[in-house]
Structures are given as structure tokens and as C-alpha cells.
């Protein structure tokens, strides 16, 4: 499997390009601001053809370039229905600071030509890859994660976690659509139940894995201290 990631834009949002290997179709995940050149560079270097653009949620730092990227490669965009309105009205999900920074910029946002909606537990077969969708509200109402089998180097899956889970931290819940109680429920039900060997590729910062976060992330430690959590053991 080929996974190429790079931070883009003023928020340092991680954009990922995922394919089975060079010279194949690929999927782009979270093309934020200033990500189009990075996507084009990865596509050119590895001779790829983007066919889908996946969004972990609708915040502007993750979807700024979804329309240009999808339009350039005639790709379909995927987003959870609870966040779809943010594609055309990103101000509805912004902090006051971000809104003030963007005011007066004359920015216009529009949906890509083709948009498909995501559902919890759905399997997507795209570019020869299988992605499992987990609806993980808390950061936004329509936040999701994408898990795909890996099966190499003692890694069973890779999870693209968006702004649900970071190395040593979790996503903020003080923005419009955020809900701390839902965030904790998502972490308990959709993160702590995963095997330790799942690699986490977050929306910001460096990669980590479930085992490391279970052992060291203070937010997950607090959840674990509250009571037992069912955990999947690899191979069962």
C-alpha cells in the first residue's frame, strides 16, 4: 500500500493520498487549504489517478480544496450528511478567530459536482481499497474516521482519524457542532475497542497507534479509569 501524507495550509492540516501502489487509482483524504499542489506532486510522482476525495469532517481546514481537487480529477467527494452543509457554508463551523481571519477575503465555497454521503459502519470499495466508515461525532456532528486493512509490519489497519484523536490529545469540542459528551462516547466506542496495532494517521501532527494512545493519552486514560472497555484482540 502507498500512503503519502503532507501538512498543508496555515493550519498544518494533514492531507493523505492513498493507493494500492504506484501507477494505480488513488483516494485523497482531507484536502485542506493550499493542498492542491501537494496532491498534484504526489499524483505525478507516483503516476496516480484520484477517483475519490474523502472528508473526515466539514471544517474548512480539512475541506478547503475539496471542490478544486475533485474537479481537477473528476473525482467523487464523500462526507457525512451531518456536515454536508459546511461544504457551502464553512463559516457555520468556524471559531470567531478563524471567521475574523477570513472575513473580507472574498472566498466562495461550492460543493463538488458529485457528492456521496457516508453512513456509520458502511464499507467503501474505492481505488482497489476497502474503507470502513465509523461515525464519530464530538468534534463536529458529522465527524467520521476511515479504517483500511494494512496487514504489513504487524499493523492490522490504518485509521485516518481526522480531528477525533491526535498523538497525546483529542479534538476540541468548543466549536459550533462540537459536543464533549459525544466526543467521549466516540472515543470509548470507536477508538478504545480497536486493537493496539492499529496505526493512527491524524488530521494534525504526527502518526501514532492505538496501543500508545491507550497507554499514554491522558484523555483515553481517564476513560479507561472510569470502567472496563471491550477491546478487540487481533486475530479473533
- Indicate whether 233 belongs to any domain: no
pLDDT given at position 203 = 97
Residue 231, domain member (yes or no): no
190 within domain boundaries: yes
Give the domain range for residue 84.
2-226
pLDDT tens for 175-232 read 989 999 999 999 999 999 999 999 999 999 999 999 999 999 999 999 988 765 544 3
**232 compared with 60, residue with greater pLDDT:** 60
pLDDT of residue 152: 81
88: in domain: yes
The helix (run of H) or strand (run of E) holding residue 67 is helix 66-73
In a domain, 235, yes or no: no
- Per the domain annotation, does 236 fall within a domain? no
Q: Based on the structure, what is the number of domains in the chain?
A: 1
Domain of residue 75, CATH code: 3.60.15.10
pLDDT in tens, 124-171: 999 999 999 999 999 999 999 999 999 787 899 999 999 999 999 999
Give pLDDT tens digits for 69-81.
999 999 999 999 9
Does residue 234 belong to any structural domain of this protein? Answer: no
DSSP for residue 187: I
Average pLDDT of span 107-129: 92
Exposed, middle or buried by CB within 10 Å (0-12, 13-18, 19+), for 151?
exposed
Is 86 a domain residue? yes
Amino acid at each position: 500500500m502507498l500512503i503519502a501524507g503532507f501538512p498543508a495550509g496555515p493550519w498544518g492540516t494533514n492531507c493523505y493520498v492513498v493507493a494500492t501502489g504506484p501507477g494505480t487509482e488513488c483516494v485523497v483524504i482531507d484536502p485542506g487549504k493550499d493542498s492542491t499542489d501537494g496532491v498534484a506532486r504526489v499524483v505525478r510522482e507516483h503516476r496516480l489517478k484520484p477517483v475519490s476525495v474523502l472528508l473526515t469532517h466539514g471544517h474548512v481546514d480539512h475541506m478547503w480544496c475539496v471542490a478544486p481537487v475533485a474537479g481537477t480529477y473528476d473525482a467523487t467527494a464523500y462526507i457525512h450528511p451531518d456536515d454536508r452543509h459546511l461544504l457551502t457554508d464553512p463559516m457555520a463551523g468556524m471559531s470567531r478567530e478563524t471567521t475574523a481571519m477570513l472575513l473580507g477575503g472574498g472566498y466562495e465555497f461550492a460543493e463538488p459536482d458529485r457528492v456521496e454521503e457516508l453512513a456509520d459502519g458502511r464499507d467503501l470499495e474505492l481505488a482497489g481499497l476497502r474503507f470502513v466508515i465509523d461515525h464519530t461525532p464530538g468534534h463536529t456532528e458529522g465527524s467520521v474516521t476511515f479504517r483500511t486493512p494494512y496487514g504489513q509490519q504487524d499493523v492490522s489497519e490504518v485509521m485516518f482519524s481526522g480531528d477525533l484523536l491526535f498523538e497525546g490529545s483529542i479534538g476540541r469540542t468548543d466549536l459550533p457542532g462540537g459536543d464533549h459528551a459525544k466526543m467521549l462516547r466516540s472515543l470509548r466506542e470507536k477508538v478504545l475497542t480497536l486493537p493496539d496495532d492499529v496505526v493512527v494517521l491524524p488530521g494534525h501532527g504526527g502518526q501514532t497507534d492505538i496501543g500508545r494512545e491507550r497507554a499514554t493519552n491522558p484523555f483515553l486514560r481517564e476513560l479507561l479509569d472510569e470502567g472496563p472497555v471491550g477491546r478487540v484482540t487481533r486475530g479473533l
